Structure 1
Amino acid sequence: MCVCVCVCVQITAEELTGNDDYIELSFSARKLDDKDFFSKSDPFLELYRVNDDATMQLVYRTETVMNNLNPIWKTFKVSLNSLCSGDHDRKLQVRRHLQTMMSAYDVTAPGLTLLFPVSCFLFVFQVQWPCINPKYRTKKKNYKNSGIVILNQCKIIKMHSFLDYIMGGCQIQFTVAIDFTASNGDPRNSCSLHYIHPFQPNEYLKALVAVGEICQDYDSDKMFPAFGFGARIPPDFKVSHDFAVNFNKDNPECAGIQGVVEAYQACLPKLQLYGPTNIAPIIQKVAKSASQEVHTKEAMQYFILLILTDGVITDMADTREAIVQASHLPMSIIIVGIGNADFGDMQMLDGDDGILRSPKGEPVLRDIVQFVPFRNFKHASPAALAKSVLAEVPNQVVDYYNSKGIKPKEPSEFQSSRPFGP
Structure 2
Amino acid sequence: MQAGFRIHCSKGGGGFPGAPHPTVCPPSLCPPPCLSFPSPRRQLLDKDTFSKSDPLCVLYTQGPDTKQWREFGRTEVIDNTLNPDFVRKFVLDYYFEEKQNLRFDVYDVDSKSPDLSKHVRVDVATLQFCANKLDKKDFFGKSDPFMVFYRSNEDGTFTICHKTEVMRNTLNPVWPAFAIPVRALCNGDYDRAIKVEVYDWDRDGSHDFIGEFTTSYRELARGQSQFNVYEVVNPRKKMKKKKYLNSGTVRAGWLGFLPPRTQINFTVAIDFTASNGNPSQSTSLHYASPYQLSAYALALKAVGEIIQDYDSDKMFPALGFGAKIPPDGRVSHEFPLNGDAANPSCSGIEGILEAYHRSLRSVQLYGPTNFAPVVNHVARSAAAVPDGSQYFVLLIITDGVISDMAQTKEAIVNAAKLPMSIIIVGVGQAEFDAMVELDGDDIRISSRGKVAERDIVQFVPFRDYTDRGGSQVLSMARLAKDVLAEIPEQFISYMKAHGIKPQPAPPSPEPPGTPPPSQPPGATWGHAEPLTQGLFCLYYY
- TM beyond 0.5: yes
Partner of 1:400: 494
Cα distance, 1:408 vs. partner?
3.2
Does residue 357 (structure 1) correspond to residue 477 (structure 2)? The answer is no
The residue type equivalent to 1:389 in the other structure is: V
Mapping 1:291-370, distance limit 5 Å: 291-294=383-386, 297=387, 299-358=388-447, 360-370=448-458
The verdict on how the C-alpha distance between 1:167 and 1:235 changes in structure 2, with shifts beyond 3 A counting, is same
Q: Is the contact between residue 3 and residue 31 of structure 2 (CA under 8 Å) also seen in structure 1?
A: no
Which deviates more from structure 2 when the two are superposed, residues 222-231 or residues 13-22? 13-22
Task: Name the SS for the 2:346 alignment partner.
Answer: strand
Structure with greater proportional helix content: 1
Cα distance, 1:356 vs. partner?
1.0
The residue type equivalent to 2:341 in the other structure is: K
Mapping 1:176-195, distance limit 5 Å: 176-195=268-287
Task: Name the SS for the 1:293 alignment partner.
Answer: coil
Task: Name the SS for the 2:305 alignment partner.
Answer: helix
Q: Is the contact between residue 263 and residue 389 of structure 2 (CA under 8 Å) also seen in structure 1?
A: yes
Which is greater in Rg? 1
Distance 2:395 2:285 in 1: 17
Distance 1:353 1:50 in 2: 31
The verdict on how the C-alpha distance between 1:79 and 1:374 changes in structure 2, with shifts beyond 3 A counting, is same
Task: Name the SS for the 1:197 alignment partner.
Answer: coil
Task: Name the SS for the 1:290 alignment partner.
Answer: helix
1:388 corresponds to which of 472, 477, 482: 482
2:461 corresponds to which of 373, 383, 386: 373
Deviations 1:239-260 (A, max 9, x none): 0000001110000000011100
Task: Name the SS for the 1:396 alignment partner.
Answer: helix
Structure with greater proportional strand content: 2
2:260 corresponds to which of 168, 181, 203: 168
Cα distance, 1:300 vs. partner?
2.1
Does residue 78 (structure 1) correspond to residue 103 (structure 2)? The answer is no
Distance 2:288 2:477 in 1: 22
Distance 2:256 2:360 in 1: 40
Q: Which runs of 5+ in 1 are unaligned?
A: 1-8, 25-47, 56-75, 90-160, 414-419
Distance 1:21 1:190 in 2: 53
Mapping 1:12-411, distance limit 5 Å: 12-14=4-6, 19-21=27-29, 49=64, 51=66, 53=68, 78-79=95-96, 82-83=99-100, 85-87=101-103, 164=256, 166-294=258-386, 297=387, 299-358=388-447, 360-379=448-467, 380-410=474-504
Identity over the aligned pairs, expressed in percent? 51
Mapping 1:407-418, distance limit 5 Å: 407-410=501-504
Q: Which runs of 5+ in 2 are unaligned?
A: 9-24, 33-62, 71-92, 106-252, 468-473, 508-532, 534-541
The verdict on how the C-alpha distance between 1:199 and 1:78 changes in structure 2, with shifts beyond 3 A counting, is farther
Distance 1:387 1:317 in 2: 30
Task: Name the SS for the 1:311 alignment partner.
Answer: coil
Relative contact order (C-alpha < 8 Å, sep 6+): which is higher?
1
CA RMSD in angstroms comes to: 3.1
Task: Name the SS for the 1:172 alignment partner.
Answer: strand
Cα distance, 1:53 vs. partner?
4.2
The verdict on how the C-alpha distance between 1:167 and 1:375 changes in structure 2, with shifts beyond 3 A counting, is same
Cα distance, 1:78 vs. partner?
3.2
Q: Is the contact between residue 19 and residue 80 of structure 1 (CA under 8 Å) also seen in structure 2?
A: no
The residue type equivalent to 2:276 in the other structure is: N
The residue type equivalent to 1:206 in the other structure is: L
The residue type equivalent to 1:373 in the other structure is: P
Q: Is the contact between residue 11 and residue 88 of structure 1 (CA under 8 Å) also seen in structure 2?
A: no
Distance 2:445 2:489 in 1: 18
The verdict on how the C-alpha distance between 1:187 and 1:289 changes in structure 2, with shifts beyond 3 A counting, is same
Which deviates more from structure 2 when the two are superposed, residues 273-282 or residues 13-22? 13-22
Distance 2:320 2:406 in 1: 20
The verdict on how the C-alpha distance between 1:77 and 1:371 changes in structure 2, with shifts beyond 3 A counting, is farther
The residue type equivalent to 1:20 in the other structure is: S
The verdict on how the C-alpha distance between 1:88 and 1:255 changes in structure 2, with shifts beyond 3 A counting, is same
Task: Name the SS for the 2:478 alignment partner.
Answer: helix
Task: Name the SS for the 2:102 alignment partner.
Answer: coil
Distance 1:52 1:336 in 2: 44
Deviations 1:53-72 (A, max 9, x none): 489xxxxxxxxxxxxxxxxx
Distance 1:184 1:275 in 2: 10
Cα distance, 1:22 vs. partner?
6.3
Deviations 1:321-361 (A, max 9, x none): 01011111111101011111121111111111212111x12
